[in-house]
Amino acid sequence: MDKAIVLVESGPRLLREPLVRMLNERAAERLYFLRNAAEGSANRWIEEYVPHERILEIDFSERDGFGDRVVNAFERCGVRIGSVLASREDYVFHANEVARCSKSPPISCASSLALRHKGLMRQAFNCSGDLAVVRSETVDSVEEGLDKLDTFEGDIVVKPAELLGSVGVWKVCKGDRHAAERRLAEAAAADVVENLRSTTGISSQVVLEEYIPCLEEISVEGYVYQQRARPLLITEKRTSPEPTFFEVGHLIPSKLIWTGRDLVFGTFRRMCHSLSLSDTVVHAEMRVRPDGLVVPVELGARLAGDLIPQLVAAASGIDMERIAVALALGEDPLVETADARGAAGIQFLNRELPPRSWNPDGMPTGVTICRYDSVDEDLSRTGHLFVVGDTREQVLSRLHAVANQLGIGSAFV
């Protein structure tokens, strides 16, 4: 038989069903699903696309020898692994271990753990020689973190070492040891971190980094094929007021599409190269300082979350799920850099800003309101506004109008 395509814990249905459906259409008989036994009923919707006999369950919390155990389980079923996909950052480590042990094309040719560990990822960026250097320290305890605190010249950011995204990430001002102690403890013991620690075996290390002043926070969506990085589009981000950094909205195109694209795209390529990425979609996050310097934050060798693939499709026609599937099949997606032909934006709704109505009258053209069946436990999101238009200005105008109509205010002020 052809070598199997293994999908590792795909994540929420709302975000991942298009990818699984497309994989099923292109390679139904080759598609297998590796599910975390500790997750219980999570991802049961996968069974609509993958027969029960092609779903393997294994305990992800036992990291030692994980890849070999998975490969052996597949071999007992007479299955050879050809490619491995992970669409959630929680499982990149596991996907890379399976790829390494099965000698299939890995998500990363270098240290697979650097894609899961923020400290190692920062080390790779700093050692590249052509990316902005950011001071970073990884600590094993609150006490060690407090000892390191005075070695930083300015404000710092505290973050869990082995969880990408904004959960448990806090800014701490210079000299505020009380806040530093509290944030160090929270970064190591945030509820979502503790949950993932019990189900995937992540560590309790914490990373301290120098704070990066920000003119604009962005992400770049793209992919790598045979070690060639291909950036596609820049997404403008909006986050919650500091000291937290939760994503509250995204917009395409970014203002930088006209003034700084070459610099941003060059940073994307160097970030991918520093981690020796090959044959994967990429979601790279960066901060643009007031002096114009583009600083790498972190990178996910996976599809973006937050409905960004849908934003990319609405604004440019580029199908990120199709690119991910082509790479899994060993094909060149043949998608080059392209400007957005339209515009799209999203604003998330949460418990702190409940809308007055989910179905207001006179909804502007191009606006969709979605209410989630279950609340996102990471960010307490209850839904989102999804807006499309011909131009960035039109999307912003529609977002402002409907946000004000709902009584929640716009994230893009």
Confidence label for 203 from pLDDT (cuts 50, 70 and 90): low
The stretch 137-149 carries a mean pLDDT of: 91
Higher pLDDT, 211 or 40: 211
Residue pair 62/51 in contact by the 8 Å Cβ criterion: no
Residue pair 275/115 in contact by the 8 Å Cβ criterion: yes
- What is the full DSSP assignment across 47-91? GGTS-GGGEEEE-TT--TTHHHHHHHHHHHTT--EEEEEE-SGGG
Q: How far apart are CA 376 and CA 413, in angstroms?
A: 25
pLDDT digits (tens, 9 = 90+) for 18-57: 889 999 999 999 999 999 887 766 788 999 999 999 999 9
Higher pLDDT, 396 or 168: 396
Contacts of 288 (CB under 8 A, 6+ apart): 214, 215, 216, 217, 218, 256, 260, 264, 294, 295
What pLDDT shows up at residue 110? 41
Report in angstroms the alpha-carbon separations of 289 from 74, 129, 284, 293, 295: 48, 19, 16, 5, 7
Confidence label for 108 from pLDDT (cuts 50, 70 and 90): very low
What pLDDT shows up at residue 111? 44
Confidence label for 338 from pLDDT (cuts 50, 70 and 90): low
The token pair that represents 367 in the structure block: 């606006």
Contacts of 114 (CB under 8 A, 6+ apart): 108, 120, 121, 123, 124, 275
Q: How far apart are CA 277 and CA 119, in angstroms?
A: 18
Q: How far apart are CA 160 and CA 206, in angstroms?
A: 5
Residue pair 222/269 in contact by the 8 Å Cβ criterion: no
| Diameter over CA atoms, the chain | 62
Q: How far apart are CA 197 and CA 399, in angstroms?
A: 37
Q: How far apart are CA 107 and CA 277, in angstroms?
A: 6
The token pair that represents 216 in the structure block: 């604009």
The stretch 275-280 carries a mean pLDDT of: 86
Residue 291, SS3 per DSSP: coil
What pLDDT shows up at residue 190? 54
**Which residue has 């060798």 as its token pair?**
301
The stretch 360-378 carries a mean pLDDT of: 67
The stretch 176-188 carries a mean pLDDT of: 86
Residue pair 341/316 in contact by the 8 Å Cβ criterion: yes
Q: How far apart are CA 8 and CA 83, in angstroms?
A: 11
